[in-house]
Amino acid sequence: MTTARASRQQVFTLVVEVGRKRGDGLPEGATGAALLCYASGVDEAEAVRETVAILRQADMAPLDVSGLGTLGEREESGQQIDEAERALMARALAENAVIVAQVTPFFDRD
């Protein structure tokens, strides 16, 4: 039964925009951030739900999620995916996890 579930799992690349919330760990002065995440799920909707839930548990304030597709979809669109990114995707799949690979804080320009 576990094998059947594992075979249906895919890894989705998501970009999550977060706002500010006390204890979110973002740098002082940041107005929010974009997070590049790899999340496993049987479909993109499940991957998004799991990612939002994990980020909320981490005291972050998810505002918007954009799906960039699975590894196969991204390759079909011509994107080059390096070995480091592939390794993070494989880890997300193996651990049935959400991995935050990159955080890009936003700052207001004065």
**pTM (2 d.p.):** 0.89
So where are the chain's domains?
A: 2-107
C-alpha 45/C-alpha 41 separation (Å) is 8
Per-residue pLDDT of 66-96, as tens digits, reads 999 999 999 999 999 999 999 999 999 999 9
Residue 5 has pLDDT above 60, yes or no: no
**DSSP letter at 43?**
S
Residue 105 buriedness (CB in 10 A; 0-12 / 13-18 / 19+): middle
Read off the amino acid at residue 86: R
